[in-house]
Amino acid sequence: MTITLKTSEKTKNMMIDFYNDLKREKTPQYAVFQAVDGDTVVTLYESGKAVFQGKDADLASDYWIETEKINSGYATVTNSEKKKKEPIVYEDKKEATKYLYTNAVGSDEVGTGDYFGPIVVTASYVKKDDIPYLKELGVTDSKKLTDEKIKEIAPKISKKILYKSLILGNEKYNLYHKEYNMNKVKAIMHNKVLYDIMQENIQVDYIIVDEFASEKNYYAYLKDTNLVQKGITFLTKAETKNLAVASSSIISRYIFLTEWEKLENSLHLNLPKGAGFEVDKVGKEIIEKYGIKKLNSIAKLNFKNTERIINN
């Protein structure tokens, strides 16, 4: 996948600073830099054209598209997967910044797509006064940051802002999942941290959830819950639109990585993230070493990996 974004001078300079530690030594002709961001190669040209190439190009470019909307009021993007180049004009600057420069609580989760490791949900409270500091740290969606960067900035964020986190280990997850689907589990966890943080006598303009279910379904999942946080704004790609959500994604990821390292140390194994076939290989190794019952405490048994691990 290749995505091209035309950047303004302000966005161009922000990208130069952002990718400073990820730059390659050699760059293509007329390029300011070329950097490797996870599974994506990012090239910024002197003309201001930014090219994102790789399987996660859409994820890597999302933040800069949103940034360009803020800086210029619109963004022009070309996606190579579309047969012809069609500029995409986004909403105006006022809409793009609606949820950014506010006093907000936002929540996000990690671990729901990983066979091993817990689910972590965090709600964070970011005041307008916190925004310059967080932007200086490079706060953005945790999926766009390396694990090293997460470990560097998460402790600084957690000292600066108020947050509440909840960790669901897989032994409890496997009990819950006999009765609940993943979205209901997520809704219950998001509601818990949001409700708890709103008891801290804080004043907010928005309470934002990175949308994983419609508003109607979200509250339907909570119909048997006594204490429900109301007044939520549900946004897609919320971590690119609000720094409270972005901070929550980073803190959740940091806690997840800490728990992951504990798990690897206890098993004396390197565990692959996600739910691919590499996970199956390690799962078989765990069964051989510790027995099949071990999976109940370290893995999400409803994933298809379990059937492949046991039967293949």
Lowest mean pLDDT among 10-14, 19-23, 86-90, 128-132: 86-90
Percent of all residues in the chain with a pLDDT value above 70, rounded to a whole number: 94
The Cα–Cα gap between 175 and 17 comes to: 46
Which two tokens mark 73? 């009021």
pLDDT tens-digit profile of 224-251? 999 999 999 999 888 888 999 999 999 9
Would you state the pLDDT for residue 87? 44
Residue 133: other Cβ atoms inside 10 A: 15
The Cα–Cα gap between 137 and 145 comes to: 12
Instruction: For residues 94-123, give the mean pLDDT.
Output: 89
CA-based nearest residue to 122, from 298, 254, 242, 232: 254
Task: State yes or no: pLDDT of 66 exceeds 90.
Answer: no
The Cα–Cα gap between 170 and 275 comes to: 14
Would you state the pLDDT for residue 82? 44
Which two tokens mark 42? 């990012």
CA-based nearest residue to 142, from 260, 253, 256: 253
pLDDT tens-digit profile of 238-296? 888 899 999 999 999 999 999 999 999 999 999 999 988 899 999 999 999 999 999 99
List of domains in the chain: 2-91 (3.30.310.10), 104-258 (3.30.420.10), 263-311 (no CATH)
- Residue positions counted in the chain: 312
271 close to 263: Cβ distance less than 8 angstroms: yes
Burial category of 265 from C-beta neighbours within 10 Å (exposed 0-12, middle 13-18, buried 19 and up): exposed
The pTM for the full model equals 0.70
